[in-house]
Chain A
Amino acid sequence: MSAEQAAALEALMAEVFTGVELNLYLDTHPWDEQALMCFNRHSAQLMELKHAYEARYGPLLGFGYSPSPDKWRWNMSPWPWEMA
Chain B
Amino acid sequence: MWIYQKSLEYPVRITKTDPRMALLIITQYGGPDGESAASMRYLSQRFAMPTNESKAVLNDIGTEELAHFEMVGSMVRQLMKNATPEQIKAAGAGGYFADHGKGVWMGNAEGVPFTAAYFQSKDEVIANLHEDLAAEEKARATYEYLIRMADDPDVIDALRFLRMREVVHFQRFGETLVSVQAAMDEKKFY
Asked if B27 is an interface residue, CB under 8 A from chain A, the answer is no
Inter-subunit contact B56/A27 (CB<8 Å): yes
**In the complex where A60-B7, A61-B6 touch, is A28 in contact with B70 (Cβ < 8 A)?**
no
Total inter-chain residue pairs, C-beta < 8 Å: 78
Asked if A16 is an interface residue, CB under 8 A from chain B, the answer is yes
Which positions 49-84 of chain A face chain B at CB distance < 8 Å? 59-63, 65, 74, 77, 79-81, 83-84
Given A16-B5, A28-B57, A28-B179; 13 other pairs, CB 8 A cutoff: A10-B11, A13-B8, A17-B10, A21-B168, A27-B172, A30-B53, A59-B6, A61-B3, A62-B5, A63-B4, A80-B6, A83-B13, A84-B13
B residues neighboring A (CB under 8 Å): 3-15, 53, 56-57, 60-61, 64, 70, 73-74, 77-78, 81, 168-169, 172, 175-176, 179
A residues neighboring B (CB under 8 Å): 9-10, 12-13, 16-17, 20-21, 23-25, 27-30, 59-63, 65, 74, 77, 79-81, 83-84
